[in-house]
Amino acid sequence: MIYKKELKSFKLDNFKLKSQKVVDLNLSYLAFGNLNDNKSNVVLYPTRYAGTHLEQEYLIGKDQQINPDNYFIIIPNMFSNGVSTSPSNSPSPLYGPNFPLITIQDNVSAQYQLLKEVFNIEKIKLIVGWSMGGQQAYQWATQYPKMVENIVAMCAHAKTSGHTHVFLEGMYAALTSDLNWNNGNYEDQPNAGKTTMAMAWAGWALGQNWFREKLYLKDGYKTPQEVLDKLWKTIYYKRDANDLLAMIRTWQHHNISDNDVFKGNLEEALSSIEANVVLMPGSNDLYFPPEENLEEAKYLKKGRVEIIPSNYGHYAGAGKCKEDLDLVNSQISNLLSN
């Protein structure tokens, strides 16, 4: 069966953000697959930093555990990613650098409205996400614990660590160092700043083992310098600079316990999760190291850590090699069979 994957928009008028600011938002999403009669086979698959619905296919297919013949798959685009409401596509006065902070909590609140108002969904069989997608899965499990049955969070933490905050601040500074930055009121995209950011990010994303084992040769690059010149130099050129920075701020503010319910008590927030949780850090991820997932798992009622023994750094959760993808699929299979 061939499923129509039509990008749709869910309008949220007068949406109150966590900051109490009221804005109008559009949540762009894909919804496809086979929704059963009692709506018990829903899979929610949020997007990652600088990613859209177009980069989610590696976990979906007839040869994957998330098979649209068996499940109804919803892919919501995170705000600020250039598809859902973002600095680059908002009308004045929210255009560009005037765009407000939208938190992971705000993203999940909007997704909740989508599922309830458009599809009348009461239960989610599985939420799976990589990186910021995994943050959203974690947030869902604390924000709507009665609704979520299972989550797989790949290369993601319940709270952005101080180390990752500092790393991201460096990326922010790199992009805004462009002479054309003009406090976000640029006439042309500050691509020199994007290149500076990408060159700095390249050493973090794939990690030390990827370079040490010369895995870049499998991707057709002869040297580490070629990786920079041919892959990373222009990797962010198609993304708007203010969008990239807004997503950095969203990432930095991520904390599942930063709300009126848990008042910053992360242990209490983790203990409140009722879903089955599989945390899948990459063994060599430099900004989502396994140690923090191992600490978080101590407070989960039904949680475990399955480390991906990958040489792909943060991209362990991106299905870049068959072994990584097979391990992720096996964990998804275990949860879906329950």
The set of catalytic residues is 131, 285, 314
Pick left, alpha or beta for residue 313 (phi over 0 → left; psi -120 to 50 → alpha; otherwise beta): left
To which H or E segment does residue 136 belong? helix 132-143
- Of 257, 249, 50, 62, which Cα lies nearest the Cα of 133? 50
Long-range (24+ apart) CB contacts under 8 A made by 8-15 are: 10/110, 10/113, 10/114, 10/117, 10/118, 12/110, 12/113, 15/106, 15/109, 15/110
> Do 313 and 286 meet the contact criterion of CB atoms below 8 Å apart?
yes
- Of 102, 98, 72, 55, which Cα lies nearest the Cα of 239? 55
Say how many residues make up the chain. 338
Assigned token pair, 280: 């899948």
Angle between helices 162-176 and 241-252 (to 10 degrees): 160
Separation between Cα atoms, residue 233 and residue 194, nearest integer Å: 8
Angle between helices 191-205 and 162-176 (to 10 degrees): 150
| Three-class secondary structure of residue 303 per DSSP | strand
Asked whether the CA dihedral 236, 166, 288, 203 is positive or negative, the reply is positive
Assigned token pair, 264: 């910053």
Do β-strands 72-76 and 126-130 pair in parallel, antiparallel, or remain unpaired? unpaired
